[in-house]
Structure formats: structure tokens, C-alpha cells
Amino acid sequence: MRAIFLAAALAAIGSTAQGADDPHTRALAAGYKAAFLCSGVFNAGQTEAQVAADDLEGIYPEYQALVRTLTANVDRQAKTVSVPFDDRLPPRIAVWRPNLGCAQLPIGAPAAAAAHLPRLELKPPAAKAKWPDGDEAATAPGPAKLALVLARAFDSAAYGGSTTAVLVLRDGKIIGEQYRPGYDLHTPQRTWSAAKSLTASVIGRAVAMSKAKVDAPANIPEWRTPGDPRAAITLAQLMHMGSGLWTAGPGNRTDEVYLGGGAVTEWATRMPLEAAPDSRFRYSNNATLLAARSVRAALGDGPAALAFPFTELLWKIGMRDTTPETDWQGNYILSSQVWTTSRDLARLALLYQNDGVWNGERLLPAGWARFVATPAPAQPERGAGYGAFFWLHGAKDGLPDGTYAMNGNRGQYVFIVPSKKVIIVRRGFDSAQARFDEVRFARDVLAALD
């Protein structure tokens, strides 16, 4: 049976990018351009030039040259982006929808297929004015030394990378906040893998409502065939990156979902078991996609499942500038594909600082913050430790013990420092050649507050 699963998995990744002349690589590059232009224009309200300069530069090298040369058509009335890539196939198309952001149509799908995309026509409750539910009375004075540190974050010679936003909270108030020109408190960016911590929060809300159990087998309908050994993998093991599932290397790329218009249920569910669960750490996008799939299945795969992140979490804590996107079949791509602001990330971190309570209502189970910040049974071989969809820091990094963080590609970082009641947010557009030194920045911020 394992051989059958492995053959399926190898077939699933056999079409990964091979070069600019490879037809599938062109399709993925076109999907990259369509997806990011769609989200940047319609989620963030940016111009095509802004998206091209930030989101479409410093990307995976096998797509960079193609993305620069492929043409794109942005239809602001229909809220679609199409990118031709092959004279014999329809263009790659990304379609924006209210609340759910942009979804890619599968490779080869015509524009008419957009009519079948899932939609969520919900309106959020009336906005509250004051922080943290709203944006009024959000700030308190911070020390002058902190302002100097935050200003240096925008100097690539100081910490590296390309910073768009920094924000610091102490005792629940914003004591430092700065943005690059063209960005402000309402400009969302893609979270990349910082979204994994949002997934932990959606799961926590489902657990608090008795819709899921972390120590029970994950609810993956595609694994229910009798004899499938993956059916025993628990939600906690997925959250710990300890599922034992095979991946195409650590941090497995999920280009077929992110760029190819593939469905989560077609790709993430196909990986075979390779190691005993909890016996090794293997960072994996698929683990997060599967965990989110489990919650969706538990909620019934219908409109209630689509609405759940909004009505039960995001809107309850004032995250009104946050857009979690789906694939074309309505599965949330919660491993990476969420657009949100620095303030909304700070709100999510503040929920954890308050142990899951917001305005007197318990949204996450008691002790959930401790759970996500407890070291997983198997740990990374080097670097930061890992909890449950959160990274762990402490004295070995020169940070207070108990510090934990949301981390995402291209420089998305949120540090939660419980002992100091401090939250540190940094957003950017880093590249593999120019990374931001987030740990040194966090140390300097904390030193400025002493």
C-alpha cells in the first residue's frame, strides 16, 4: 500500500518547475502573476506597478524572468486578472470575490468557469471605534530609543531586507508604528507562512466550540478508505509538523496549489506516510493545509465552513482588513495565502497575550496559548524551536524565555513576548539574498524598552 501512495505522491510533484521552456513552468509562472496581481490590486488596492515592484520581484528564480515578460490583463470591473501563457490554452485566470479574495482557476479552465467559484456574501458586524476592536485610541507614548530602532528597520544596511511596516505593542497599546511610503495601517500584505499561526487560531476556536479535538485523528475524508494508515494522524501531530508524511524536502513547496490552481483536496491529501508520527520534525505546507481541511470537514464543507473564520474569529477581534483566500473548490489555503495588515496581526497576537479571551469572551480554549508555545515532541535540528504552528525563541536567541512567533516568507514576523507584555510586528519584501535579521531586531526593540 505504501508503494501505491508513494507512486501517487511522486506523480503529484513530478511536474515541478523545470525551466523557462517547460510548458508547465510557464503555466505556473502565469498563475503566479495572475494570483499576486489579483490580490494586490483587489485586496490591497494597489496599482499594477506597485505589485510588480514588490510582490513580483525577489521571487522564486525559476519563475522570475517569466513573470517579468508575461503580459497581464487586469479587468477592474469584473475583478479578474488573466495572463496568457500558451496559444493553445486559455490564459491563467485569478478571480476576486468579496471576503474570500482571489482564487485561481485550474490550468486550462476558461473564463466562464469563474461562475462556479464559491462565494461568501457576508457583511461584518458594525465596526467598533476604539482599539483593539477599532483604530481609535490605539497608541501610547513610547521611548525615543524605540523610535530610533524602528527607523533603522527601514535601512537595509542595518538589519537587511526591505521593510514595509513595523509595529510594537506594550500592555496592549501601540507604542511604535512606522510604514514605508505607499503603505499604511490599512494596507494588507500576504502573510506567507505567518498564516500557519492563524490556522492554529481557527483550530483553537473550533476546539473551544467542541467542533474539533487536537489529540484525535484529523478529519480528512480523503483518508477514510479502510486500511489507510494516515487516518490515525492527529490534528496535534499536523500542528507540530510531526505527521510523518513524506514531502518533497523540508518546507515542501506547494506550487501546484499556490500557483497552479490545484485544489487542496487534490494535492495535500496525496502524500504517503514515511516516518512514525511524532518521530521527526518536517516543516510542511501540506500539514497546515490538511489541518485546515480537517476543520472544514468537521464543519460540513458548506457555507458555514466558509463563514467560520470570519464570524467566529476574525471579526470578533477586529481583524476586518484580513482576507483568507481559497482554492477554486472552496478550501482555505491557510498555509500562506492570507492578506492582512500589521495591526490585524497585532490583534491576533494580542488574543494570545490575553490567553484567548477578547472583550470578556473566551474564544480559544483556556491554555491554548501555552499549547501552541510548548515544544513539539520532535524539534528542528537547528534554529528556532517549534510549538504548534508557532516558532519558539528564548535565551539561546538572546530573547526572554517563553517568546514565540509567527513567521512567514519574505520577512513577515510577529513576536509575542509574554514576560514583557510586548508584541513586535515586522512586514517586508525580503529575498533569499537579502533577509531581515528578525531576531536581532527583536532584541534591539526589547532593549529600547528597558
List Cα–Cα distances, 288 to 243, 295, 398, in angstroms.
11, 11, 29
Q: Based on the domain organization, do 320 and 400 belong to the same domain?
A: yes
> Could you tell me if residue 127 is inside a domain?
no
What is the rounded distance in angstroms from the CA atom of residue 253 to the CA atom of residue 247? Answer: 9
Q: Based on the domain organization, do 256 and 348 belong to the same domain?
A: yes
Of 443, 445, 432, nearest to 60 (Cα)?
432
Number of domains comprising the chain = 2
What is the rounded distance in angstroms from the CA atom of residue 278 to the CA atom of residue 376? Answer: 8
Q: Based on the domain organization, do 231 and 339 belong to the same domain?
A: yes
The C-alpha cell of 83 is what?
495572463
Decide the pairing of beta strands 189-190 and 80-83.
Answer: unpaired
What is the rounded distance in angstroms from the CA atom of residue 100 to the CA atom of residue 118? Answer: 9
The DSSP symbol for 268 reads G
Query: Whole domain around residue 43: which residue ranges?
Result: 15-114
The C-alpha cell of 98 is what?
468579496
State phi, psi for 255 to the nearest 5 degrees. -60, -30
Q: Based on the domain organization, do 230 and 376 belong to the same domain?
A: yes
What is the rounded distance in angstroms from the CA atom of residue 95 to the CA atom of residue 326? Answer: 11
> Could you tell me if residue 79 is inside a domain?
yes
> Could you tell me if residue 167 is inside a domain?
yes
Q: Based on the domain organization, do 61 and 179 belong to the same domain?
A: no
> Could you tell me if residue 161 is inside a domain?
yes
Q: Based on the domain organization, do 178 and 266 belong to the same domain?
A: yes
What is the rounded distance in angstroms from the CA atom of residue 323 to the CA atom of residue 45? Answer: 13
* CATH code assigned at 233: 3.40.710.10
> Could you tell me if residue 364 is inside a domain?
yes
Q: Is the peptide bond before 61 cis (omega within 30 degrees of 0)?
A: no
- The terminus-to-terminus CA distance of the chain in angstroms comes to 58
**CA torsion 31→34→38→39, rounded to 10°?**
40
Q: Based on the domain organization, do 60 and 188 belong to the same domain?
A: no
Q: Among 114, 136, 164, which residue terminates a domain?
A: 114
Q: Please give the chain's pLDDT, 450 residues, in tens.
A: 333 333 334 344 444 445 668 999 999 999 999 999 999 999 999 999 999 999 999 999 999 999 999 999 999 999 999 999 999 999 999 999 999 999 999 999 999 999 999 999 999 999 999 999 999 999 999 999 999 999 999 999 999 999 999 999 999 999 999 999 999 999 999 999 999 999 999 999 999 999 999 999 999 999 999 999 999 999 999 999 999 999 987 777 899 999 999 999 999 999 999 999 999 999 999 999 999 999 999 999 889 999 999 999 999 999 999 999 999 999 999 999 999 999 999 999 999 999 999 999 999 999 999 999 999 999 999 999 999 999 999 999 999 999 999 999 999 999 999 999 999 999 999 998 999 999 999 999 999 999
